[in-house]
Structure 1
Amino acid sequence: MGEKTAGNGDRPRGVLTPEDRAYLAGETDYEYSQSEINARRRIRERIYHSLLDGHYLFTALDSRDCWQIFDPRHQPRLVEDEDDESVSRGMAYADEYTEEEWSRMKKALEGWLALIYSGVEEPPLLGQEVFASLVEGGIRQVIENQNCLLDEFDLTIETQRDVSDDELLDMFETGESLTNDELVHLFKHDLIGGDDLLNSIEGRSETVRTDYTDDDSSK
C-alpha cells in the first residue's frame, strides 16, 4: 500500500467546496460574469459566518477536541493501492505530519491570520492595534477558559515588504497598490504630502465601498 496525502481535489467540503477551491486556484472559470459574482458572494458569506462560528468552536469544544484538530494522529490520510486501482480507497493515520503536510498546514494557518489582518487593516476596521487586540483577546480566552497558568505573554512582530523608499515612491506615483502602513511610511519620511496620504486612504475606502455596491446591486 502506498500513502497519498489528500489534496485540494480529494478533501471534502470545508469553508470552501471543492468547486470553490478549483475556482480560486484558477483551475476553472465561470462562463458568465454574473455567475462569478454570485460565487464570490457565496464564498464571502460562508467565510463571514465561519468566522462568527469561531466563538462557538472554542467555547463549546472541549480543550481535548481543540488540540486533536491539529494532532496528526487524529487526521486521516487518504490511501490507495498503487498496484490495483480497483481497490477501494481507505483511511490511514500517522504519528506525525509529513514535511508536505506540515508545510500545507503552516500555510493554511498563516493564510487565516493573513485574511484576518488584511480585513482589519483595510476599512472599516482600520489599524494594527485592532489586530494586536484580537491576538491578545484570543490568548486571554485560552487562559481564562482553560485555566492556563500564564502570567505574561509578550509578542513583538516586526516585518515589512523588502522594498526601498525609492521603490515605494515609484509604486505610489505609478498608482500601484500600497498598504496603509506603507503610505504612512512615505508620509513620515516626507516623500508624500498629507493631502496625498489622505486622498490615497480615502480613495481605497471608496474603492472598497464601490466593490461591495457593484456586487450587491446584482442580487
Structure 2
Amino acid sequence: MDRAERPRGVLSPADRAYLRGETTFESDQSERNARARIRDRVLAGLYDADLLADALSERDRELVFEKHVGDDSEGVRALIAVLAFLYRGAEDAGLDFGTLLEEGVSRAEADRNVAASVEFDVHREPLDADRLTRKLRRTGSLTLSELAYLREADDVSLDRLLDRYATDVEAEKADDDWVQAKMTSF
C-alpha cells in the first residue's frame, strides 16, 4: 500500500510526515504538542491491541494478515518493525521481552486449546564492518541486518563485497531473496 495513500492508523498522515522529517512546525510548542499527541496515540494503540486480540473475529484477522500482509514485503517489514518497536519498548519499561513474548504466544495458543512453550534467547555482538567482512569470508553469508549495516557503513563498499562473495542462485530463489533483502534497511 502506498504510504501516501494509507488511511489513518495509530498515526495520522500529518504524524507520519512529521516523523519522516517532511514537516516542520512554526514553534517549539507546536512540535511538543504534536509529539505528545503521537505518544498518546501509541499508548492508545497498545491498549487497542488487547481488544483486537480478544474481540476481532478470526476471519477478519485472517483477512488482514493473509490478504494484506502475507504476500506484501512492506507488510512483512511492518510486522518486523512492530516486533522491534515492542522489543525496545519492553526494555524501556524495564520488562523482559522474552517473558512478554512467551505470555503472548501462550495467550494466542490457549485460544486454540493448546499449551505452548517459548524459547527466546538474544545473543548480542557489536556490528562493525571488519568483523562482518571476516564473517562473510568465513561463512559466505550474513543476516539481513548485517547486510543493512554494511550497506550503510562508510568504510565498506557493499557492491564490492557482493561482487566478491555473491553466489549464483536459481532465478526464483533470487527473486525471493531480493524481496527479503529489500525489507531490512537501517
What's the TM-score, normalizing by structure 1?
Answer: 0.53
Residue by residue, what CA displacement relative to the aligned partner does 1:108-142 show, whole Å, maximum 9, x if unpaired? Answer: 112212222222212xx225xx2111100110011
The correspondence for 2:53, drawn from 43, 55, 58, is: 58
Match of 1:88 in 2: none
The correspondence for 1:141, drawn from 83, 107, 111, is: 107
- Is residue 126 from structure 1 mapped to residue 94 from structure 2 by the alignment? yes
Match of 1:160 in 2: 125
Residue by residue, what CA displacement relative to the aligned partner does 1:149-172 show, whole Å, maximum 9, x if unpaired? Answer: x554433332433149xxxxxxxx
Letter of the 2:110 partner, please give it. E
Alpha-carbon distance in 1 for matches of 2:88, 2:101: 14
- Alpha-carbon shift at residue 11 of structure 1 (Å): 0.5
Which protein is bigger by CA-based radius of gyration?
Answer: 1
Match of 1:24 in 2: 19
- Is residue 36 from structure 1 mapped to residue 4 from structure 2 by the alignment? no
Residue by residue, what CA displacement relative to the aligned partner does 1:28-63 show, whole Å, maximum 9, x if unpaired? Answer: 111211111000000010010110111110111222
Match of 1:114 in 2: 84
Residue by residue, what CA displacement relative to the aligned partner does 1:165-204 show, whole Å, maximum 9, x if unpaired? Answer: xxxxxxxxxxxxxxxxxxxxxxxxxxxxxxxxxxxxxxxx
Match of 1:196 in 2: none
Larger % of helix: which? 2
Alpha-carbon distance in 2 for matches of 1:34, 1:46: 18
Give the share of equivalent positions with the same residue, in percent: 36
Q: How many residues align?
A: 129
Residue pair 1:120, 1:131 contacting (<8 A) in 2 also: yes
Alpha-carbon distance in 2 for matches of 1:154, 1:119: 20
What's the TM-score, normalizing by structure 2?
Answer: 0.61
